[in-house]
């Protein structure tokens, strides 16, 4: 800031406190040349394949902006993330009209990034849930060994592609069909009533998918469900990927989800779950999807996403 004219860079915070380190300070822009070591943020702004109207393509920008609203300090455990490195790789450029081309760009970009930066640990900001197909496929192409997925979601996302092509309801069906992912390597947490059909629930069971419903979460507790899920995957896969569909949350906590509904998780349960999973040494990345900032209330849902990212980073840092 010019102290004589009091002119500062556009977009700078309106107020700063020298003793309050903001989470935005963690984001370090990648120069596109140096090797990326550690955790990185990558925006995947695609929402045209969504079954319902969605402005999830605007989420990466909204989430980055909200990093200015929070600190780096976790008071409950007296941990400060200030020393953590969070490289911002920018966003994958989507094609204006060709959805399949956008999927190809996502897969190719992620595969290349991971091959060239083997220690890269990505946090993907969607976008709708259809991007998970391309993200997992790109990671699978670049990494040796098998990938397992822990999916936080109200829905199975196993819909067929014949009735509407690849959409945000089909990513896990596509991953299974293309043998990128085995049914026994997929764990779904938070599946709830009146968000799925009998056909797709039976399909999930036949494929060997491990399902924990919201009733399981309520009766066992979220940490017990996560411990069981990790123990289940531990000996089956080489890498564990986390996919967070924000509609796993109750509508009271996620008004910006296109497919919001009652009976879901609390934000506290989701944060505890992500932190717990992130500590596992086989975790290789995470995506956060299905937020529409254009219908959100005071960015409530995007604010939860920021906390998911920070809890994930905190878990990774101590693992």
Annotated binding site for Mn(2+): 129, 153, 155, 157, 245, 247
- What are the residue ranges of helices labelled H in 117-221? 131-142, 171-177, 198-206, 214-220
Distance CA 246, CA 250 (A): 9
| Sign of the CA dihedral running 58, 61, 65, 67 | positive
Cα radius of gyration rounded to whole Å, the chain:
19
Q: Which helix or strand (DSSP H or E) is residue 310 part of? A: helix 300-318
Q: Annotated binding site, which residues?
A: 129, 153, 155, 157, 245, 247
**Closest among 243, 313, 316 to 282, alpha carbons compared:** 316
Distance CA 111, CA 134 (A): 10
Q: Which helix or strand (DSSP H or E) is residue 118 part of? A: none
Strand partners, 155: none
The token pair at 149 is 């997925």
Beta strands 120-126 and 38-44, pairing class: parallel
Task: Give the DSSP letter of residue 7.
Answer: B
Backbone angles phi, psi at 7, to 5 degrees: -100, 130
Backbone angles phi, psi at 2, to 5 degrees: -75, 110
The half-sphere exposure of 127 on its side-chain side, counting CA atoms within 13 A, is 30
Distance CA 110, CA 95 (A): 16
């Amino acid at each position: 800031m010019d102290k004589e004219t009091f002119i500062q860079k556009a977009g700078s915070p309106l107020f700063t406190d020298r003793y309050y380190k903001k989470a935005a300070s963690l984001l370090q822009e990648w120069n596109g040349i140096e090797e990326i070591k550690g955790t990185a943020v990558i925006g995947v702004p695609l929402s045209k394949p969504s079954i319902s109207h969605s402005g999830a393509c605007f989420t990466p920008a909204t989430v980055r902006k909200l990093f200015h609203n929070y600190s780096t300090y976790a008071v409950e455990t007296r941990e400060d993330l200030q020393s953590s490195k969070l490289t911002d790789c920018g966003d994958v450029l989507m094609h204006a009209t060709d959805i399949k081309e956008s999927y190809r760009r996502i897969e190719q970009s992620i595969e290349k990034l991971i091959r060239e930066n083997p220690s890269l640990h990505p946090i993907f900001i969607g976008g709708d849930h259809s991007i998970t197909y391309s993200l997992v496929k790109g990671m699978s192409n670049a990494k040796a060994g098998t990938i397992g997925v822990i999916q936080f979601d109200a829905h199975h996302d196993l819909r067929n592609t014949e009735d509407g092509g690849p959409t945000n309801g089909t990513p896990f069906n596509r991953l299974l069909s293309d043998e990128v992912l085995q049914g026994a390597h997929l764990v779904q947490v938070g599946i709830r009533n009146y968000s799925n059909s009998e056909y797709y629930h039976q399909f999930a069971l036949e494929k060997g998918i491990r399902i924990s419903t919201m009733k399981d979460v309520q009766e066992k507790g979220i940490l017990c469900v996560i411990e069981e899920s990790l123990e289940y995957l531990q000996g089956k896969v080489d890498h564990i990927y986390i996919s967070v569909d924000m509609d796993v949350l109750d509508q009271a906590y996620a008004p910006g989800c296109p497919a919001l509904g009652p009976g879901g998780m609390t934000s506290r349960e989701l944060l505890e779950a992500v932190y717990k999973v992130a500590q596992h040494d086989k975790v290789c990345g995470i995506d956060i999807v299905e937020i529409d900032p254009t219908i959100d209330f005071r960015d409530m849902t995007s604010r939860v996403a920021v906390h998911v990212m920070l809890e994930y980073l905190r878990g990774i840092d101590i693992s």
